[in-house]
Every structure is written in C-alpha cells, then in structure tokens.
Structure 1
Amino acid sequence: MAPDNPPPPPPPPPSSIRQVTGWLTRHRAGLTADEEVQRKALLAHCHELDTAAGRVTSFAEMLTRLEGERLTDWITEAMTPGPPGISTLAAGLNSDYDAVHAALTTAWNSGPLEGTVNRTKMLKRQMSGRAGFALLPRRVLPA
C-alpha cells in the first residue's frame, strides 16, 4: 500500500493589513506566485474579503477603461450589504455622481493643471518667510 501524500502546508498568515490591501488592490498580474496563493487562501476563508476583492477589481477595471456607463450598476451593487468601506465609497460616489460620471466618460484630464498647482504650492512653501512676493513670479513663470 502506497503512503498517501500529505496535503501541502497552508500558506503563512499575512504579516499586516497593508499586505492584504496590496493583494486586493494591485492588478493580479503584478502579484508573485506566492502572493497569489496567499490571496486565494485568504479569500477562500473570508467571504466578505472575497466580495470586497470582486468589487475593487470591478471598480479598477471601470476606471482604467473609462466605462462610465457601468457606474450606476456598480454603485447599486456596492450599496448592498457587504464590506462597509465599499458601501461608504459607493455612497460618496453617488453624492457626486455627475462629476464622477463625467470623469469616467470624457477624455479630459486635469493632471497637467494639478501638477502645475502642486509645483506652485511647493515653491511658495519653500519660500515662506524668506522672500517677498516679488520673487514668487520669478520662480514660477520661467519654468
């Protein structure tokens, strides 16, 4: 009689909440083989996390593909009882629905403007108390 192969040992528990959050929010192609095994084991043991992972993945796909037409369905699904963080996000998105829908359906991007504003604020903080207003335009405008 051949000895039965013992089952593989279970994966070690996650070392931190941050590690679990990374497994749930990163694209699955970016996970290592060990992380994928740990993620699957964790989701198999916790139904709420499995639900949250599905909703996070669905939302990420909607964001990256600019599929604003799916927003209403996603909000409705996310508002059903489940992980409280997801339903809170859905309520926030629903309260500003027009802006979120426009962001997911138009090709406009405010990134360059936000970068300029961020840079200007950084320069202002660096110069705080060191120079007068006359120097600010000289540092901001040439760039």
Structure 2
Amino acid sequence: MTGHVRSFAQMLTERQGERLPQWLHAVRQDDLPGLHTLAAGIDRDGDAVIAGLTLPWSSGVVEGHVNRIKMLKRQMFGRAGFALLRKRVLLAE
C-alpha cells in the first residue's frame, strides 16, 4: 500500500497525469479495498483528474474567494439579509 500511495503522491507533485491509467491498473491488481474505492472514485471523474494532474491551470484563487464569502455568510447567519451581506463582501476585499 505504501508504494501505491507514494507513487500517487509523486504523480501529484510532479504533475504526471499520463501515469494515472497505469497506477489505477496496478492498484486493482492488489488486494487493497481502500485503494479500490479510491480508484473507483477516480474512474468516475477520470478526465477531470487527468486534467488536474497535467494542466497548469488552477481554480485556487476562485476557491479562496468562495471560502471567504462563505465565512462571512456564516458570521452573519440569521442577522441580516442579502443587501448587508453584499456590502460586507464588497468591503472585506
């Protein structure tokens, strides 16, 4: 199991999405139910996973803004409507 995890980590850090099909095949050959579940999840979104492992683009900046807006929304839960939330989001930048 350790070898598979390290190999997957190397694919992530070195952005080697082209190795993913071989990695999935190797995981399925071993009797590791936890990794079989991971492999099944990767298969469901295979194109997206390969794109994430190979393409240089990231949605990290957008995710950061969404996270910040959700935090502001949680802080204001039940206290104000959309107008005040909008003002807080715009002023928090």
1:87 Cα deviation (Å)?
Answer: 1.3
Q: Does 1:112 align with 2:61?
A: yes
Contact 1:80/1:87, CA 8 A, preserved across alignment:
no
Identity percentage of aligned residues = 58
**Corresponding residue of 1:46:** none
**Corresponding residue of 1:66:** 15
Q: Does 1:141 align with 2:90?
A: yes
The separation in 2 between residues aligned to 1:77 and 1:83, in whole angstroms, is: 11
**More relative contact order in 1 or in 2 (CA 8 Å, sep 6+)?**
2
CA RMSD of aligned residues (A): 0.9
Following TM superposition, where does structure 1 have runs of at least 4 consecutive aligned residues deviating by more than 4 angstroms? none
SS of match in other structure, 2:82: coil
Match of 2:40 among 85, 88, 91: 91
The separation in 2 between residues aligned to 1:138 and 1:110, in whole angstroms, is: 25
The separation in 2 between residues aligned to 1:133 and 1:95, in whole angstroms, is: 37
TM-score, normalising length from structure 2? 0.93
List per-residue Cα deviations over 1:34-73 (Å, max 9, x = no partner): xxxxxxxxxxxxxxxxxx1000000000000100110110
Larger radius of gyration: 1
Gaps (5+ residues) in structure 1? Answer: 1-51
Q: State the one-letter code of the partner of 1:54.
A: G
The separation in 2 between residues aligned to 1:81 and 1:74, in whole angstroms, is: 11
The separation in 2 between residues aligned to 1:136 and 1:84, in whole angstroms, is: 45
TM-score, normalising length from structure 1? 0.62
Contact 1:78/1:86, CA 8 A, preserved across alignment:
yes
The separation in 2 between residues aligned to 1:79 and 1:114, in whole angstroms, is: 33
List per-residue Cα deviations over 1:76-101 (Å, max 9, x = no partner): 11112321111110111012110001
Q: State the one-letter code of the partner of 2:76.
A: M
Contact 1:68/1:104, CA 8 A, preserved across alignment:
yes
Gaps (5+ residues) in structure 2? Answer: none
